[in-house]
Amino acid sequence: MNFSKDDKMDKIKIGVIGTGYWGKKHVFEYSQLKEAELSWICDLDKSLLKTLSKDHNIPNITTNYKDVLESDVKAVSICSNNENHYKLAKEALLAGKHVLLEKPMTTSSKTSQDLVNIAKKAKRQLAVGHIFRFNDGLSEVKKLIKKGYFGDIYFLRLQWTTVLNPKNPIDVILDLCPHTFDIMNYLLDEWPIKITCTGKAYRKKNLEDVAFIMAEFKNGICAHTEVSWLLPGKVRELYVIGSKRSANVECLSQKVLVFENGKEINLNITANNTIASELSHFLDSIKKGSTLSNDGEIGTKTLQLIEASKESLKKGKTIEI
């Protein structure tokens, strides 16, 4: 899409609700994007808002999200705590705003589906922060899978581990598996049909800080995921194992290493700015009314799989979806 550089009329007026660790990144990227006019920011922390508005020249700040929803912004990014995603997104959609909602979309598939229905009825875009759909390393691997470069895909292995303290009421599955389930679907164009999950809550009762999930697909492919808040370091790594070749993807640096008959080939991918790409895609979908690749249906499906994982963990058995 071509926006003329300085034509304000072409810019989409935006508000960001929740400007903590992740929301600040939305603020920064919107303030750089020519397609956006970042008009409002909202957080409970007023001093944070003052600093951000000064740094990025944002005209309106508020600690009350209703001010943003009553304003003339066309769209909002919601980057607040998971527990209020549903309430804020619902009110935003009913106020006629397009919504980019951070992951996990809500805390249940029921409320996520409700948002999908509300967005449809209101004819508004509902995007979810499934940022790995905008990762050039993963996009390249997806293309190669489609072309048959790896041969038959046998399995995927994902490791999503970080050192973090448990944050009641969020466990590691709700926190990290929106990404891992989304990546499986992005690469394979399929959702798992069976989920088997084990895990442990070491530090806080009922709040798993480690989990191991086996996801099985109808074509025999499976995906094994390790998520943890205890393993030292930060790892966002994927292996694709195929009959002809295999690959290792380091999802943060976007480095892709292919293994072929004992040789290692570096695919030389230049890492893109994934948040900027995600926000541009959202703005583009508003302008053109085009389909989102990270829509609310995808967010809802990841929540269903998270619920299946927790059910499997609780009952000690495989759950069919």
Ligand X SMILES: NC(=O)c1ccc[n+]([C@@H]2O[C@H](COP(=O)([O-])OP(=O)(O)OC[C@H]3O[C@@H](n4cnc5c(N)ncnc54)[C@H](O)[C@@H]3O)[C@@H](O)[C@H]2O)c1
Q: Which residues bind ligand X (CB under 6 A)?
A: 17-23, 42-45, 65, 79-82, 84, 102-103, 129, 131
Contact 170, 102 (CB under 8 A): no
Give the shortest CB-167-to-ligand X separation in angstroms. 8
**Judged by CB, which is closer to ligand X: 22, or 28?**
22
Closer by beta carbon to ligand X, 174 or else 258: 174
Nearer to ligand X, 129 or 242 (CB): 129
Nearer residue to ligand X within complex by CB, 30 or 65? 65
CB of 116 closer than 8 Å to CB of 126: yes
To ligand X, the closest distance from the beta carbon of 76 in angstroms equals 11
Shortest CB 19 distance to ligand X, Å: 6
> How far apart are alpha carbons 85 and 241 in whole angstroms?
36
Question: Closest CB to ligand X among 124 and 236?
Answer: 236
Q: What is the 3 state secondary structure string of the chain? A: CCCCCCCHHHCEEEEEECCCCCHHHHHHHHHHCCCEEEEEEECCCHHHHHHHHHHHCCCEEECCHHHHHHCCCCEEEECCCHHHHHHHHHHHHHCCCEEEECCCCCCCHHHHHHHHHHHHHHCCCEEECCHHHHCHHHHHHHHHHHHCCCCCEEEEEEEEECCCCCECCECHHHHHHHHHHHHHHHHHCCCCCEEEEEEECCCCCCCCCEEEEEEECCCCCEEEEEEECCCCCCEEEEEEEECCCEEEEECCCCEEEEEECCEEEECCCCCCCHHHHHHHHHHHHHHHCCCCCCEHHHHHHHHHHHHHHHHHHHHCCCEEC
CB of 99 to ligand X, least distance (A): 13
CB of 89 to ligand X, least distance (A): 11
Nearer to ligand X, 40 or 217 (CB): 40
**Min separation Cβ 116 and ligand X, Å:** 18
User: Quick one: 129 or 296, whose CB is closer to ligand X?
Assistant: 129
- Least distance between ligand X and beta carbon 145 (Å): 23
Q: Which residue is nearest to ligand X (CB)?
A: 20
